[in-house]
Structure 1
Amino acid sequence: MRKHYLIEVAQNDQLVVFCPPSFLKDKEITRIAFGSRSIEVDFIPHPDKDDRVSISRKIQKALHFPNFNTPLHVFFNNHSLIIGPLVGIFTAGFTSLPLEPIGERTLFFSKLLSVNKMVGALPFVFGEQHIDWDQGIIEGYIFQNNTWETLEVPFPNVIYDRLPNRRSENNPKLIKVRDRLQKEYLIPWYNPGFFNKLDIHERLIQDDIVASFLPETLPFTSFSSIETMLSTHGHVFIKPKNGSLGLGVHQIIYDKHTDDYFCRYQDESGVNRLRRFSSLERLMGIVFANQSLEKMLVQKGINLLRSESRPIDFRVHTNKDDLGNWHVSAIAAKIAGPGSVTTHKRSGGDVKTLEEIFSGDERTLYKERLSHAALLLSSSLDRNVEGIIGEIGFDLGIDRNGDVWLFEANSKPGRTIFAHPELKDFDLLTRKLSIAFAVFLTEQSLLHPEELFT
């Protein structure tokens, strides 16, 4: 386990750093750095303390180092001692409310930042309007002692992308900020971009290791392609390529005995509907009358495991740790609401632990299969998707034969499953790992920058 060091501010103005004697063994250190700021100083061994680094008020001011009681990591590179990591969490949607600076997402960010001492990092939240390009500083939001405050910090060692939606992601002003910080300042930027369902499918289907987890999925081209899939599988799902939260998902079922077509979906008022039609053309013409079918994909239906006659799927979170290794960090079952086409809570779905719906060997088997699939899929996405990925939320299903299927991969997974009281520890673990990954990226950017920026 990596060691954290307390960074204390001494009441003097000397350009001297007192540090553990081991720091100076076989090393020639002449500078201290925090984020993008560094200063030339003298280093002196601490006479009796090997768990802390002491800097003066003058050094603190030059580095824009917050005087918080937060243990941090230390890194060595090019005669410099780097304290950190300083982790910038980039988002949008700020308000002028001091108690809710990021609106309804303020609680999430306060919980995310609260892992700082456990991880040994200093995270802060910022938006494009908080950057002073001329001075090379950011007026960031810090959460300390259960309160929000702003303070000036240098440009960070790494940036964690927490933009809230595709609209903000595609904002030209925010794209320019991301490109500039990555290309001009060489700051690693992780979890950029929302996944496109069809794009992810087309990338993963080329990987023989994970292709078996992928249900047949096609862009909408014609009614005949839907008819073909219905005749083979009995039911299909039509989904938006860039959808989320289960919005816009329709299930089409063909009854070969009556030659009827059924469509299950949630209407604009939030009511779960099941309608019968005499033909597929009539169904599509009425249900999809105001929708752009070229933005849809068609996916074969899977006969899922059920609980109390309701379909079950699973949310599986994976995260990279401070060594860059993937871990399964949470698994929860999601049970569809009565008459619902999805398992989302907004459609009446319920979140359960595996212990609540399975027992004994069956629970062990399903947990192993879900974990195995999620780790293989995480590694495959890592290889086949541009950018640095540190966390993924998978929606997986298990059919009645026990086979695992991937329905969706989310680069910015929702966290509604963690409202379940038995999943609190997993909530904490996912937050810890999402910031701990910044430790690994900071080290990589110092030792092997060519692997991150090529």
Structure 2
Amino acid sequence: MQHVLPICKGKDDGSRVYVPEYLLQHGRHRVSLSFGSRTVLCEAVPHSKREIQLSKSLWDLLSIPFEAKIHVHIEDSRILIGPLVGIFTSGVGLFPSRPVGERSAFFSKLLSADRQVGAYYFVFGPEQLQQENRMIQGFFYSEKGWSQHLVPLPSIIYNQIPNRRTESSLKYQKAVHLLDLEWEIPFFNPSFFSKWEIFRFLQKDKEMRDYLPYTVINPGVQLIENMLNTYSAVFFKPIGGSHGRGILSVHKEPAGGYSCRFLEDHRPKIEHFQSLISLLKTRKLYGRLQDTLVQQGIDLITWKQRPVDFRVHTNKNRDGKWVASAMAAKIAGTQAHTTHLAYGGEIKRAEEVIQHAGLPSKSALKLTKAALQLSHKIDENISGLIGEIGFDFGLDQQGKVWLIEANSRPGRGIFSHSSFRAEDYSTRMLPLQYAVHLAKQAFVSKGLNVT
């Protein structure tokens, strides 16, 4: 049985937890009480209040940070309070009032959703781990602001490492090994996706293959030339790239030669070349394409002659099922070859842009369908627990859906505009709900482990 109830600290020193009498089928009896990774034996006592009350000694022993309205799961003679969910990231703890630096506002917004979900969520990094006593100095957020509390290891970890460089660093690899492999705490969103790995297994599926633009890795000059003769443009994408960095768009000019669009100092630039080899050498790609995807350009629909693609977020919900949580149209900045906001991109409602392009309104449903199909397929093929995916899709002039990219840790900045308030809330709420689902699963599947 799962309920959301106030959790309160009592004044007595006995080893007792007071539970609403309608929840205690066996009356007063011995139970195991869990908070995060910590479990203790105590006596469950029925009382008339609609709250869970812990004796002072139990409260301190479990290191519960503060009173709150929280999920309580009762299974036979076991009770789980929480769950306690850790959000693992980098750069934590430099300033108490802004513990995640420039990203503190993002995390405060994320953690503000926990009051609706009914769980304890906190932010931490490797620096907050106390390996000897298996505790964490976690940063919590409430209406009073940020506060730090010493808590047990969490039931679940939501991975929010911001970039691949940090993820691959020795410090974070050691912390992940400790948390995931040694302490066996379930992790979701364990790592960034490899663009090539995603395309490689999707290409093997007949239905999924239809969403994929022609994509190769480490092609020779002749194959690139053939692609330029076939498609209006060809894109060069670093396998480990993000935020549009390192992407080139190459066109073959009707009068001869080649044009190359790229970003330099956050500004779009165009260079012209007489030969493909000179272009590749100048852009330091000649003979160095082993970590680069070369991909068919798509004749995207436009908004005022600027290319458009679509971000669709999918999340697992409180039942562990994939749902589409948000969608927006991203419009490229003037002369830009990508739609990233940092480079002058603009955000609009998907329905408005689809209507402007003269496509049927059901095109938005096609994007949602594609996102959910791909979410299931990626989930089947990628190891570890995946809780959210951000898809970038294109719609061509005929309304065909194309997958541009799938991101395991999608940014939410595009939904910060007031017209996307509901979508912004969903993308913050659903990962927290999924964490509750995972904690419940882990609790039900595990036996008594008293620490």
The answer to whether residue 126 in structure 2 is matched with residue 125 in structure 1 is no
**Are 1:261 and 1:276, in contact at CA under 8 Å, matched by a contact in 2?**
yes
Give the superposition deviation at 1:77: 4.4
CA distance in 2, matches of 1:129, 1:287: 39
Partner residue of 1:408 out of 405, 416, 440: 405
Please give the per-residue CA displacement for 1:167-211, whole angstroms capped at 9, x wherever unaligned: 211122322222222233221100011111111111222223322
**Are 1:30 and 1:43, in contact at CA under 8 Å, matched by a contact in 2?**
yes
Please give the per-residue CA displacement for 1:409-430, whole angstroms capped at 9, x wherever unaligned: 1111112202322012211111
The answer to whether residue 51 in structure 2 is matched with residue 52 in structure 1 is yes
Give the superposition deviation at 1:20: 2.2
CA distance in 1, matches of 2:176, 2:326: 30
Partner residue of 1:357 out of 353, 357, 363: 353
CA distance in 2, matches of 1:144, 1:242: 36
Give the superposition deviation at 1:95: 4.6
Amino acid at match of 1:20: P
The answer to whether residue 156 in structure 2 is matched with residue 155 in structure 1 is no
The answer to whether residue 295 in structure 2 is matched with residue 296 in structure 1 is no
**Are 1:352 and 1:420, in contact at CA under 8 Å, matched by a contact in 2?**
no
**Are 2:310 and 2:350, in contact at CA under 8 Å, matched by a contact in 1?**
no
Partner residue of 2:100 out of 99, 102, 105: 102
SS at structure 2 position matched to 1:99: coil
Give the superposition deviation at 1:96: 2.4
The answer to whether residue 39 in structure 2 is matched with residue 38 in structure 1 is yes
Map of 2:267 onto structure 1: 271
The answer to whether residue 5 in structure 2 is matched with residue 5 in structure 1 is yes
CA distance in 2, matches of 1:191, 1:92: 15
TM-score (norm 1): 0.93
Matches within 5 A, 1:350-389: 350-359=346-355, 362=359, 364-389=361-386
CA shift in 2, pair 1:443/1:209, >3 Å: farther
Partner residue of 1:228 out of 226, 229, 234: 226
CA distance in 1, matches of 2:400, 2:377: 19
TM-score (norm 2): 0.94
**Are 1:90 and 1:162, in contact at CA under 8 Å, matched by a contact in 2?**
yes
SS at structure 2 position matched to 1:228: helix
CA distance in 2, matches of 1:206, 1:421: 41
SS at structure 2 position matched to 1:19: strand
Alpha-carbon RMSD across the aligned residues, in angstroms, is 2.1
CA shift in 2, pair 1:246/1:45, >3 Å: same
CA shift in 2, pair 1:420/1:145, >3 Å: closer
**Are 1:64 and 1:152, in contact at CA under 8 Å, matched by a contact in 2?**
yes
Matches within 5 A, 1:288-367: 288=284, 292-359=288-355, 362=359, 364-367=361-364
Give the superposition deviation at 1:13: 1.5
CA distance in 2, matches of 1:270, 1:290: 24
Give the superposition deviation at 1:391: 0.6
Give the superposition deviation at 1:387: 0.9
CA shift in 2, pair 1:291/1:330, >3 Å: farther
CA distance in 2, matches of 1:291, 1:64: 57
CA distance in 1, matches of 2:366, 2:89: 35
**Are 1:190 and 1:389, in contact at CA under 8 Å, matched by a contact in 2?**
yes
Give the superposition deviation at 1:382: 0.6
CA distance in 1, matches of 2:306, 2:173: 42
Amino acid at match of 2:181: K
The answer to whether residue 389 in structure 2 is matched with residue 392 in structure 1 is yes
SS at structure 1 position matched to 2:362: helix
CA distance in 2, matches of 1:92, 1:22: 44
Give the superposition deviation at 1:261: 1.5
Amino acid at match of 1:434: P
Matches within 5 A, 1:251-262: 251-255=249-253, 257-262=254-259
SS at structure 1 position matched to 2:335: coil
Give the superposition deviation at 1:448: 3.9
CA shift in 2, pair 1:249/1:291, >3 Å: farther
CA distance in 2, matches of 1:410, 1:85: 27
Map of 2:141 onto structure 1: 143
CA distance in 1, matches of 2:321, 2:2: 15
**Are 1:397 and 1:404, in contact at CA under 8 Å, matched by a contact in 2?**
yes
Map of 2:435 onto structure 1: 438
Please give the per-residue CA displacement for 1:30-71, whole angstroms capped at 9, x wherever unaligned: 121111112221112122x3x321111111001001222x22
CA distance in 2, matches of 1:147, 1:271: 37
Map of 1:61 onto structure 2: 60
SS at structure 2 position matched to 1:408: strand
CA distance in 1, matches of 2:148, 2:288: 44
SS at structure 1 position matched to 2:312: strand
Amino acid at match of 2:137: E
CA shift in 2, pair 1:259/1:88, >3 Å: same
Structure 2: gaps spanning 5 or more residues:
none
Answer with 418-427 or 295-304: which moved more: 418-427
CA distance in 2, matches of 1:209, 1:187: 35
Give the superposition deviation at 1:228: 1.4
CA distance in 1, matches of 2:65, 2:216: 52
CA distance in 1, matches of 2:180, 2:77: 24
Amino acid at match of 2:12: N
Partner residue of 1:86 out of 84, 87, 91: 84
Answer with 204-213 or 236-245: which moved more: 204-213
**Are 1:32 and 1:39, in contact at CA under 8 Å, matched by a contact in 2?**
yes
**Are 2:217 and 2:289, in contact at CA under 8 Å, matched by a contact in 1?**
no
CA distance in 1, matches of 2:285, 2:207: 40
Identity of aligned residues (%): 39
CA shift in 2, pair 1:77/1:171, >3 Å: farther
SS at structure 2 position matched to 1:124: strand
